[in-house]
Structure 1
Amino acid sequence: MLDALVLGLVGLNVYAVLLVVARAVVFRTRLYRPMLLNVGLSLAPGALMLLMGLFVLLAPPPWLALPVLVLLGLVWLLLLPNAGYLVTELNMSHRQPDDPVPMWFDVLLLITLATSGVVNTVASLFVAHMLFGVVRHGDLAVSMLEPDAVAFVVVILLLVAFGVFIGRHVRVNSWDVLRPWRLVRTVVRGLADKVGSAVAFTLMYATFLGLMYVVVAGSVIRAAIELGF
């Protein structure tokens, strides 16, 4: 089952990149580089989470493990909204009125991009969910259903959804955290007249991601429990 999920994840991202490039080559339009950048950014948190998993497998001493995991976890959390952000490409902001590209092609392209972003988010969170269970409870599958592990997933989904909102509507990036006071001012000012929209989007998008998480990760967790992992 995991092999199929990994194959599907890789295939979606490769297909998304191929469609972006094909759009420029086949229809002789400008290559929309931000889309390629966004695909790369959406993969970054998953790659970082895999590194964290390898770090845990190396069984470092506790005095080293906790600070490293906390630091990497914070960086991962800052990067994770970049994966879910691909859904906002559905606004077709890249398309021009006189674009020679057929609408059906752009619809397929954007659906593929959005789906890859959702799956990247779910896959990265799934690995984080596993690590949380192992670190907190020492188990794998069963511990992922503990109340604190479920609460961990819910909180992360809410933070991701909020991050996507401020990324699109307040126009901030993950690296803006390097200037924390400026970031805080920008977010506060940007949300001044958008609080209702921010709350609605956060709750609705987090619910959507949560349902996708149940569909994808829930079956894997259940299978792992039945197999005794």
Structure 2
Amino acid sequence: MAALVDLIAIVLLNVYAAVLIVLRAAVYRVRLYRPMLVNIALSFLPVVGALVGIAGLLLLAPVVEVLAAGLHEGAVVLVWIYLVVATVLWVLFFPNAIYLITELNFSHRQESDPVPLWFDIVQTLTLTLSGIANAIAGLAIVQTGFVLLADPNGHSTGAPGFSWVFAGVVIVLGALGVYLGRYLRFNSWDVRHPASLAHKLITHLREPGRALEAGGFVLSHAVLVALVYVPIYVIFYRALFS
């Protein structure tokens, strides 16, 4: 029940962020900044993807049970194929949630805008918090799913180490994805062209100071997300398995 309440609160936070963006244009008669609305939708994808992935695994369970009953090795193979494909797809879209941290640069604000600074602060901060909430919710769902898959009874003493390693890797990759999106303007679907992506990244990092900048960006963002995620997930995990 608590998890459902948390999910509803996160949905409302996303809705509130969208409402503020629309109100900014309607009340102060300025141009509607549509990229922010698009970013809200993209940032919520990791939550939707995590829920869909878990649902797909549950739907796959009867098939796996039938195969396993016949001692068919395909049961294990089927589960692993599903997990790998679903996880890779989810990780590709995970950076879209963390990306909203970079909206704090107020790039949408013009000097001639009649919008009060206090409104833009609340609006942008709400947008950023919605992204962080989406990232936490999506990662928490996936991490818990892996824990339950490894041990259906759960670990009352705390989440197992392998799940924390997974979470750490995802957070770092998420921060890297944000850097690629903000500075090289890559999107999640650009992975379809890996050669072009790698060429642009290598060319970018060869510029003086770029590698150090990228390292600092990824490290600082990853640490921020981790410091927020870890204590929240620990509380969530204890409540779930206590």
TM over 0.5: yes
Pairing 1:72-221 to 2, within 5 Å after superposition: 72-142=86-156, 145-193=159-207, 194-221=210-237
| 1:49–1:127 CA contact under 8 A, matched in 2 | yes
Structure 2 counterpart SS, 1:68 = helix
1:142–1:151 CA distance, 2 compared to 1 (3 A): farther
Cα deviations by residue, 1:26-62 (Å, 9 ceiling, x for unpaired): 1111111100000000011211111111122221423
Tell me which amino acid in the other structure corresponds to 1:51: V
Shift of 1:143: 8.5
Q: Does 1:16 align with 2:12?
A: no
How far apart are the structure 1 equivalents of 2:191 and 2:4? 36
Structure 2 counterpart SS, 1:93 = coil
Structure 1 counterpart SS, 2:46 = helix
The range that moved more, 170-179 or 103-112, is 170-179
Look at both structures and tell me which one has the larger radius of gyration over its CA atoms. Answer: 2
CA RMSD of aligned residues (A): 1.6
Tell me which amino acid in the other structure corresponds to 2:228: M
| 2:14–2:127 CA contact under 8 A, matched in 1 | yes
Structure 2: 5+ residue stretches without partners? 65-74
| 1:23–1:29 CA contact under 8 A, matched in 2 | yes
| 1:137–1:143 CA contact under 8 A, matched in 2 | no
| 1:122–1:213 CA contact under 8 A, matched in 2 | yes
Tell me which amino acid in the other structure corresponds to 2:235: S
1:93–1:146 CA distance, 2 compared to 1 (3 A): same
1:201–1:139 CA distance, 2 compared to 1 (3 A): farther
Q: TM-score, normalised by structure 1?
A: 0.93
Number of aligned pairs?
226
Tell me which amino acid in the other structure corresponds to 2:233: A
1:28–1:4 CA distance, 2 compared to 1 (3 A): same
How far apart are the structure 1 equivalents of 2:108 and 2:56? 40
How far apart are the structure 1 equivalents of 2:121 and 2:100? 14
Tell me which amino acid in the other structure corresponds to 1:171: R
Q: Does 1:30 align with 2:56?
A: no
How far apart are the structure 2 equivalents of 1:15 and 1:92? 18
Q: Partner residue of 2:57?
A: 56
| 2:28–2:114 CA contact under 8 A, matched in 1 | yes
Tell me which amino acid in the other structure corresponds to 1:180: P
Tell me which amino acid in the other structure corresponds to 1:2: A
Q: TM-score, normalised by structure 2?
A: 0.88
Shift of 1:195: 1.1
How far apart are the structure 2 equivalents of 1:144 and 1:36? 37
Tell me which amino acid in the other structure corresponds to 2:145: L
Shift of 1:144: 6.1
Structure 2 counterpart SS, 1:145 = coil
